[in-house]
Amino acid sequence: MGMTTSVVGIKPPDTTFKKMLKIWQACKAAAVEPPKLVQDYFNNEDPDEAGVKVDLFNHEAVTPFKDESSEGFNIEVGKLPVGVKIVRVYNSW
C-alpha cells in the first residue's frame, strides 16, 4: 500500500457554511440525500467542521519541492484562493 500526500485549503465557517451544515445534518438525520446545492457546496464530501475544503494539489499556489534528501511542496500564500485561511497537508495510506 502506497502513501498519498494531499494539499487542501480550508475556508473557515461563515454564515453560509453554518446554514449548509444544518441542512446537511438534517438530511442525514432524516436518511435522505442532501440537495445538490448543498452537496456541491461541500464538494460531495462529508462536511469538515473546520470549514469548506478546497483541493490545492494542482492549484497554481502549490508547486512540488525536491532536493537531495527531502521532497514536499512549496505553497505560495499570495496565490491561494480567496477565503482560504488554513492549508492542510496530510498523508494517507
pLDDT per residue as tens digits for the range 47-77 = 998 999 999 989 999 999 999 999 899 999 9
Residue 62: predicted pLDDT? 96
Residue 41: predicted pLDDT? 94
Residues sharing a CB contact under 8 Å with residue 75, sequence separation 6 or more, in sequence order:
7, 56, 61, 62, 87
Place of cell 499556489: 61
- Strand, coil or helix: what is 17? helix
Q: Which three cell numbers stand for residue 8?
A: 487542501
Residues sharing a CB contact under 8 Å with residue 69, sequence separation 6 or more, in sequence order:
none
Angle, vertex CA 91, rays to CA 89 and CA 93, nearest 5: 160
Confidence of residue 28 (pLDDT cuts 50, 70, 90): very high
